[in-house]
Chain A
Amino acid sequence: AQKVTQAQTEISVVEKEDVTLDCVYETRDTTYYLFWYKQPPSGELVFLIRRNSFDEQNEISGRYSWNFQKSTSSFNFTITASQVVDSAVYFCALSAVEYSGGGADGLTFGKGTHLIIQP
């Protein structure tokens, strides 16, 4: 079965610090997609990034960067020079269909990491 683990339940840092959110996944599918979503206090889900299993290049978007390593089944997210507006719950999610063992379509989410940026 598919699984996404976000071991950090809550992280609190002071503004301008760098912070890394960890994500470890499990799937038997060879083709899959990994996602990060942000959920601010208002509750909506904001898409941040999608990465497919064949593309291990790291990605940088402004203060955000993502490190995908298939060898360790990890897809970590780093915020550089954090800001108060980055305070939110961040979810890592996996999309795969395990043809060998069945399984539903859709996303498998981790439990989320609550990031608190203190001024």
Chain B
Amino acid sequence: NAGVTQTPKFRILKIGQSMTLQCAQDMNHNYMYWYRQDPGMGLKLIYYSVGAGITDKGEVPNGYNVSRSTTEDFPLRLELAAPSQTSVYFCASSYERRGQGEGYTFGSGTRLTVV
């Protein structure tokens, strides 16, 4: 019953450091997404992927990079961490576009603090 697995759960970064947030799903879902949630705000889409080798920008992509070399994994890379990237990050996946069928499956989130 793994679903979507995000690691780490918590992380503190110093300004200018880099890190990769990991996301893996074992449901053979085509679509994967990265969202960020700032305090008092809804989730905003950072990047998404419609399949291995294909990625595209969402609403707030600046400061992030992604790759999708396999169906299962969709890592999110922060190159030069800034305080504005302090947030909770959620990874999600779906088998079909628009969340038809089984809908969306969300990971448990990564709480990132940049100091």
Q: Contact flags (1/0) for A96-107 with B, using CB distance below 8 Å?
A: 110000001111
**How many A-B residue pairs lie within 8 Å, measured between CB atoms?**
74
B56 is an interface residue with CB less than 8 A from chain A: yes
B103 partner residues in chain A, CB cutoff 8 A: 35, 47, 50
Main secondary structure of the interface of B (DSSP, over half): strand
Q: Number of B residues contacting the other chain (C-beta, 8 Å)?
A: 28
What interface size band does chain A fall in? Answer: 20 to 34
B58 is an interface residue with CB less than 8 A from chain A: yes
Cβ A44 vs Cβ B109 within 8 A:
yes
Other contacts beyond A47-B104, A109-B44: 18, CB < 8 A: A6-B42, A9-B40, A33-B98, A35-B99, A43-B111, A44-B109, A52-B100, A95-B98, A104-B56, A105-B31, A105-B50, A106-B33, A106-B35, A106-B58, A106-B92, A107-B35, A107-B104, A112-B40
